[in-house]
Amino acid sequence: MKKIANISTKAILLLGGLVLGLTGCSEDDDSGNNSEAVITSQSLKMDLSQFEKEDAGVFMQAFYWDVEPIGDWYNVVGEKVEDWADSGINRIWLPSPSKGASGSFSMGYDPMDYFDVGEFSQRGEDNVETRFGSRQELEDLIQKSHANDIEVIADVVMGHNSGGGLQYNPYRDAEVFSLFNEENGNASGKFNRNFEHFHPNAIVDSDEEALFFAETDLSHAVPYVQEWLWGRDDSVGEFYKSLGFDGWRFDYVKSFAPKWVKAWNDKIGGFSVGENFDGNQQVLKDWVDASGSPAFDFACFYRLDETLDRAQDLTPLGEADNMLRKLDPNMAVTFVANHDTEKDENPDNRISYGNKLLAYSYILTHDGYPTIFYLDYEAFKGQLKTLIQIYNTLAVGDVEIIEANKDEYIMKRSGSGDNPGLILYMNISKQTKQRVVKTNWAGKTLVDYTDNSRATPTADAEGNATIQAPPGSYSIWSITKE
């Protein structure tokens, strides 16, 4: 298992290399004056708090795979909440709270007893806590989050179950682990299940075709299952809400129809986002249209992975309609990493650490609702705090792509009212790049609000200004204070 100390050490080493890259200079720069230049640029910056958006806020995935220490994770997260709130986080996503078949080792994705969130002994085991802690610790964390104006989102795993007792299933003519009762993985005694509640059954053979555990795939077409998941006043959804949860992250939605997400949300309410693990933007758009729920923008994730890591060519970032956020930004939850991508050994399914901040500079300046991954925040806290502040203030107005080529991507947000907006300059080449761009800021002096560039260009009477970005890095420009 991964240890927090080991992960943190690796992250710190990686961060050190990134910091060196982010402070890179052009050939005629005097690097000895860099600290003085940063201080000077700080004195030029506007107070961004005056521009904070009414809907300001960023999503935090508050866990990673195999979190440790076992049994204490809710307390660990509780110690982070005030800092996250100060940074501009408005929602945190916790793993599935219910007891899993793996007991204290479970990350929640093998749900067994939906009504056991760390208070029952299951199958003769002495330990009652989940991997993350006790019910009381969960409720304390939620209360502390609410006190800091942070909503808490529960992971809802309603496609498949694990850990039941073995019984004969006549629809499969085989024995299946589909018996869930007080003696078989369901000590709460609520939502007992048997083979009639899985696929196939007397009503339907299957729900969707992308089944994770086909033998114990819950059948949402069965009225009993619907009632216990969301329909009853004491359903799973209502139970989660009674704990204080404010919304839902639906796990692996390819295994059940989007209408079941809509049914849950219509009855339970709250914010929601679906995990439709698909890089095709139209598949994502069809799902959000059918479910009425936002979805994680896997198309955006894979475009960033492709451009930054695999092809090392930023040109596709300028193409139209190749992400959910380009088709429907209000329904796109963007991200750079999650618990699945970070443990995937396939480099095509994760963005490398060396390019993480470039990817975050993209999602934290564009439209969509951006997500920060717990380990990334721990590794790159200073830079991410700056980017989150920029997202919550200057990242407003229409998105206009100024340039997208192999090495460069330049995008402008038009601003709104007194808010001047911003210009993002990404540069993946090995040397400083600069370019004359048309801004909305005629006669204004500009400054890089990330401090990655020390330049302070002035736009001419027509708004043209020469901006730059360091090698393998980014800069985010706006006007100086009056």
Residue 37: the pLDDT is 58
Element (H, E) at 38: helix 34-44
Residue 208: the pLDDT is 82
Phi/psi at 447 (nearest 5 deg)?
-145, 150
Retrieve residue 168's tokens. Answer: 């004969």
Element (H, E) at 402: strand 399-404
User: Pick the catalytic residue: 116, 275, 278, 376?
Assistant: 275
* Residue 458 to residue 464: CA distance in whole angstroms: 8
Q: Which residues pair with 300 in a beta bridge?
A: none
Residue 35: the pLDDT is 56
Q: Does residue 312 lie in a domain region?
A: yes
Query: Is 251 a catalytic site residue?
Result: yes
What residues form the annotated binding site? 233, 407
> Is residue 393 classed as helix, strand or coil in its secondary structure?
helix
What residues form the annotated binding site for Ca(2+)? 233, 407
Retrieve residue 381's tokens. Answer: 């806290």
Structure confidence by residue, pLDDT tens digits, 163-179:
999 999 999 999 999 99
Question: 8 or 158: which carries more pLDDT confidence?
Answer: 158
Q: Does residue 411 lie in a domain region?
A: no
* Residue 296 to residue 254: CA distance in whole angstroms: 13
pLDDT higher than 90, residue 43: no
Residue 80: the pLDDT is 98
User: Pick the catalytic residue: 137, 251, 297, 448?
Assistant: 251
Candidates 290, 304, 297; CA nearest to 325 is 297
Identify residue 86 by its one-letter amino acid code.
D
Identify residue 280 by its one-letter amino acid code.
N
Query: What is the span of the domain harbouring residue 277?
Result: 52-396
Residue 82: the pLDDT is 98
Q: Which residues pair with 371 in a beta bridge?
A: 59
Query: Is 286 a catalytic site residue?
Result: no
CA angle 339, 343, 303 (to 5 degrees): 75
Confirm if 117 and 243 have CB atoms less than 8 A apart. Answer: yes
Neighbouring residues of 198: CB distance < 8 A, sequence distance ≥ 6: 161, 169, 176, 178, 215, 216, 217, 218, 219
Q: Does residue 109 lie in a domain region?
A: yes
Confirm if 64 and 73 have CB atoms less than 8 A apart. Answer: no
* Residue 419 to residue 392: CA distance in whole angstroms: 12
DSSP letters, 133-148, are B-HHHHHHHHHHHHHT
Structure confidence by residue, pLDDT tens digits, 57-79:
999 999 999 999 999 999 999 99
Q: Does residue 166 lie in a domain region?
A: yes
Neighbouring residues of 67: CB distance < 8 A, sequence distance ≥ 6: 73, 76, 95, 107, 131, 132
Q: Does residue 329 lie in a domain region?
A: yes
Q: Does residue 68 lie in a domain region?
A: yes
Helix and strand counts by DSSP (H, E) for the chain = 15, 19
Under the banding of pLDDT at 50, 70 and 90, the label for residue 210 is confident
Retrieve residue 274's tokens. Answer: 């679906």
Under the banding of pLDDT at 50, 70 and 90, the label for residue 22 is very low
pLDDT higher than 80, residue 6: no
**Mean pLDDT, the chain, integer:** 92
DSSP β-ladder status, 89-94 and 369-373: unpaired
Residue 2: the pLDDT is 32
Q: Does residue 34 lie in a domain region?
A: no
Phi/psi at 452 (nearest 5 deg)?
-80, -20
Q: What is the mean pLDDT of residues 81-90?
A: 98
Q: Does residue 25 lie in a domain region?
A: no
* Residue 424 to residue 29: CA distance in whole angstroms: 22
Q: For residue 220, what is the domain's CATH number?
A: 3.20.20.80
Candidates 346, 350, 329; CA nearest to 281 is 329
Under the banding of pLDDT at 50, 70 and 90, the label for residue 38 is low
> Is residue 58 classed as helix, strand or coil in its secondary structure?
strand
Residue 347: the pLDDT is 87
Under the banding of pLDDT at 50, 70 and 90, the label for residue 14 is very low
Calculate the alpha carbon distances from 116 to 100, 195, 236, 272, 283 in Å: 9, 21, 10, 22, 35
Structure confidence by residue, pLDDT tens digits, 103-129:
999 999 999 999 999 999 998 777 899
* Residue 157 to residue 163: CA distance in whole angstroms: 14
DSSP β-ladder status, 271-274 and 473-479: unpaired
Candidates 266, 271, 230; CA nearest to 249 is 271
Count the domains in the chain.
1
pTM of the model: 0.91
Retrieve residue 271's tokens. Answer: 């914010």
pLDDT higher than 50, residue 7: no
pLDDT higher than 70, residue 310: yes
Residue 286 has a CB neighbour count (10 Å cut-off) of 14
> Is residue 213 classed as helix, strand or coil in its secondary structure?
coil
